[in-house]
Structure 1
Amino acid sequence: MTVTGRDLIDLGFEQGKALAGALAYVNANGIEGDALVAWAAANKPAPRIVLQDAPAIRFNLEAETELEQENVDKVRQSMDVLMRTPTLRAGAVMPDACPAGPDGTIPVGGVVAAQNAIHPGMHSADICCSVMITEFENAEPKDILDAVHQATHFGPGGRPNGMRYTMSPDLYDAFRANGYLRDKKILQAAQEHLGTQGDGNHFAFVGRSKANGTTCLVTHHGSRGPGAGLYKLGMKDAERFRKELSTGVLKQNAWIPADSPEGEAYWDALQLIRKWTKANHNCLHAATARIANADMKDRFWNEHNFVFRKGDLYWHAKGATPIDDEMLPDTGGIQIVPLNMAEPVLLIRSNPTEVNLGFAPHGAGRNYSRSAHKRAMGGRTEAEIFAEETNGLDVRFYSGNVDISELPSAYKPAATVRDQMARYKLADVVDEIEPYGSIMAGDWERDAPWRKKAQAKHAARARLEDEARRR
């Protein structure tokens, strides 16, 4: 008797590679009848994991305007879908929350705890996006801003040969020993991108401590090319596990089982990316101090797009600042929360509670997208908007082009975030770094070669069409 695929499906197998392999095995070994039933019971794949009833969410966010209500509704709807992912055990939303994709995508300002699972999509491609502060003994804000302008690099790609910072040989060797980070593109980016800050909302901010008047430098950026490369490889493996282990789980919420060989390698890779990112901040701060001939008084940092482990729970923070000492092996209990370029950077302290789940806001967040904000600014020139929103500040865009979508009006009102942080007892403010000035990438795409080429092509086509009409 020949066993058929239908026979094995009736005994609990599913269509796919496992069915084909099982079919070949049982027929090659003449397994049939009661022996076949026993063999199938012992060897059929485990049932696929299905979506769960969503656990409760700690929602530390409320709307104060119609626009904010729309944002809150979208965040709540996305979290409701997200929390049905079968690995998740707890979730929270911070006051700076805003949607980050289709329903079911973890929002900026979202925190979730996954059991024995690492979800690359829940820390995003900007792995270990983080903030570092250096307090100087004897420096003026302008001198520090000028110095960091020399030291840093914003925009796409890395630094050209001859203008790079040096990566630690030990860290480079650790990258090469990791199954994910030994990728050639990641290794190349790890060297070229050190000392770069990218674009978007990343910045170098200089101000004075309200508590003691000292000048402080704050930088904000993530793991650049190495992190993006790890994310891409992690999502590829997570998608394979999603298809093998589950049904109904959204692609963006795929996971790598933490106790699998891939999960252990990915966890180790995350820790190395964390070290690289901290080194990236450090090299810019050290170079700034050297250029400005300034003495450091204190320096610390914290990340907000990362995964933190406590037991078998993996806490994924997508734009949320951890305040739990167990999650922060190298800080002294003070965390950094920037708001926008015209507002103070907050230094906070807190303890884990049932409300905050060990996290605080990471910034001000947005109520609408960058493009929607630009449309809302219609009727005024770029220069007028920039002058109004940066009055009294030394604000610079590295590319030379203003990015309207990064000006203060693009973000939630800082006062709203601060009020809700206090109302929900998420953290206490212990100091404020009052703004002097900042540097961001700016609208570098305006002068990008591909854009100029497209504009030239469009202009040439228009000229030809115009000439044709005149004939």
Structure 2
Amino acid sequence: MKITGKEIIALGFKSAKWFPEAIAHINDNALSKDEMIVYLEQFKVETIGLLENPADFKINIKAENELEEINVNSVTKSMEVLMKTPTIVDGAIMPDACPTGASGTIPVGGIVVAKNAIHPGMHSADICCSVMLTDFGDTNPKAVLDAAHSITHFGPGGRDRNTQFRFPADLLAEIEANPFLNNQKCISAARSHLGTQGDGNHFLFVGKSKKTGNTMLITHHGSRGFGANLYSRGMKIAEQFRKELSPKTLKQNAWIPFDTEEGKNYWEALQIIRKWTKKNHEVLHDATLQKLGIQQENRFWNEHNFVFKDGDLFYHAKGATPLDAKFMPDITGPRLIPLNMAEPVLIVEGNTTENNLGFAPHGAGRNVSRTQHRKSKTGTNEEIFATETKGLDIRFFSNEIDITELPTAYKNAATVRNQMDEFGLGEVIDEVLPFGCIMAGNWQKNAPWRNKRRQDKKK
């Protein structure tokens, strides 16, 4: 009698990729039931429980008022739960840390080190969120901001065919060769989202170097829909492994074992996303230079939301700036830490210590959610905007003010800088003093679907 997958499942096995091979072997060799059971022993997987003693993590943050105390306690408790994940060996939290998601979810400003495992939930959908600086020399900062404003693209969706940037053929070939990325949805997003910045806290900042007086353009964004598609597929694969290997692990902390075909392909997909995101910065900077007819004097960049590999250890930085050069193979200069639109962007260098694990903060972070901040403000949006952006050229691409991106929505910048010094999280070697900034703004206020709803109500 020919056996099928039903007989194997009846023996306590879950359907898996090895089923067809095993079924063929059993039938081709006419194994008896006892022989079949012995043969199938090799496919048994011992599930992995949570760590009885959570892995240690370093705390590079301290509360200086009641609001910060609530934030720090929440972040710490979430990390304590997360560090029970069986792949985890080390971790740290930075001064800009703030909670996101349910308990056990990596916080913004968190670093988690896993052995031979990639956790998609620990880099989230905004893979390779990063910052790039181009030195425009003695160019007028308003000219740079105006030129960049005419070129950049904020908000949902991508560019239409008439305004798309030319897509690099070599990058397209890499995308098509990777099983995680070679689908029409990914490729379409990669093409149309090139040269776009999205929404939220992403920005285009222009200012002057405190040291040289040169005008600097800095962009901040991630991998847009291209990266979000990879994240979605990665989470599905990680969940399959979680159910098989460690069902007690929280779903948001599921992982893809690196020593599997899926793990190798996912790692390569992350590197392709990284290349795309760097190119996304470059096309905006280069087009601005071209419009002004000038040459760059310097350029450097760093991601602060990514997975970095060192041997068999995978450093998941959910909003943390890599200081150690081993994390960035193409490093060409110091690192960038933006705080808020009214504060300088910090240019930093630093050494790896036991406390910082080779990282610095990635920004100022938040003590309260956007909703809480919005409710805490009094006055009109215009009044709040005028007060918080006085003396600066602040623009919202949608022409709608988003008060949740104004300076008071973020942690106190001086507190973050002081704690960087206290905990040895990088040395400030220069600052880009603010002139102006462009952000998406509240694009949802006049989004097409909202306008349609308003029109329908009037009928």
Q: Give distance in 2, aligned partners of 1:29 and 1:413.
A: 72
Q: Give distance in 2, aligned partners of 1:438 and 1:281.
A: 16
Q: Give distance in 2, aligned partners of 1:363 and 1:347.
A: 12
CA drift of 1:29 comes to 4.5
Q: Give distance in 2, aligned partners of 1:189 and 1:23.
A: 40
Within 5 Å, which residues of 2 pair with 1:2-21? 14=12, 16-17=14-15
Deviations 1:38-61 (A, max 9, x none): 445x33512101111211110101
Which secondary structure state, in structure 2, belongs to the residue aligned with residue 155 of structure 1? coil
- Residues 337 and 348 of structure 2 are in contact (CA less than 8 Å); yes or no, is this contact kept in structure 1? yes
Which secondary structure state, in structure 2, belongs to the residue aligned with residue 263 of structure 1? helix
Within 5 Å, which residues of 2 pair with 1:324-403? 324-377=324-377, 379-403=378-402
2:201 matches 1:208 = no
Which secondary structure state, in structure 1, belongs to the residue aligned with residue 302 of structure 2? strand
Q: Residue type of the partner of 1:388?
A: T
5+ residue gaps, structure 1, are 461-471
* Alignment RMSD (CA, Å): 2.4
User: Could you say if the C-alpha distance between residues 30 and 275 of structure 1 is closer, same or farther in structure 2, counting changes exceeding 3 Å?
Assistant: closer
Match of 1:57 in 2: 57
User: Could you say if the C-alpha distance between residues 450 and 419 of structure 1 is closer, same or farther in structure 2, counting changes exceeding 3 Å?
Assistant: same
Within 5 Å, which residues of 2 pair with 1:191-270? 191-270=191-270
- Residues 152 and 195 of structure 2 are in contact (CA less than 8 Å); yes or no, is this contact kept in structure 1? yes
Q: Give distance in 2, aligned partners of 1:442 and 1:159.
A: 18
Q: Give distance in 2, aligned partners of 1:47 and 1:364.
A: 43
Which secondary structure state, in structure 1, belongs to the residue aligned with residue 173 of structure 2? helix
Q: Residue type of the partner of 2:227?
A: G
Deviations 1:193-234 (A, max 9, x none): 111000000000000000111100000001111101111111
Q: Give distance in 1, aligned partners of 2:38 and 2:13.
A: 20
Match of 1:419 in 2: 418
Within 5 Å, which residues of 2 pair with 1:147-186? 147-186=147-186
Q: Give distance in 1, aligned partners of 2:137 and 2:39.
A: 73
5+ residue gaps, structure 2, are none
Match of 2:434 in 1: 435
- Residues 209 and 216 of structure 2 are in contact (CA less than 8 Å); yes or no, is this contact kept in structure 1? yes
- Residues 93 and 109 of structure 1 are in contact (CA less than 8 Å); yes or no, is this contact kept in structure 2? yes
Match of 2:42 in 1: 43
TM-score by length of 2: 0.94
Q: Give distance in 2, aligned partners of 1:238 and 1:158.
A: 28
- Residues 54 and 80 of structure 1 are in contact (CA less than 8 Å); yes or no, is this contact kept in structure 2? yes
Match of 1:282 in 2: 282
Within 5 Å, which residues of 2 pair with 1:94-113? 94-113=94-113
User: Could you say if the C-alpha distance between residues 164 and 32 of structure 1 is closer, same or farther in structure 2, counting changes exceeding 3 Å?
Assistant: closer
Within 5 Å, which residues of 2 pair with 1:80-119? 80-119=80-119
Q: Give distance in 2, aligned partners of 1:23 and 1:436.
A: 68
- Residues 325 and 333 of structure 1 are in contact (CA less than 8 Å); yes or no, is this contact kept in structure 2? no
Which secondary structure state, in structure 2, belongs to the residue aligned with residue 110 of structure 1? strand
Deviations 1:54-90 (A, max 9, x none): 1111010111111111111110111111111111111
CA drift of 1:244 comes to 1.2
- Residues 132 and 218 of structure 1 are in contact (CA less than 8 Å); yes or no, is this contact kept in structure 2? yes
Match of 1:73 in 2: 73
User: Could you say if the C-alpha distance between residues 242 and 211 of structure 1 is closer, same or farther in structure 2, counting changes exceeding 3 Å?
Assistant: same
Q: Which has the larger radius of gyration?
A: 1
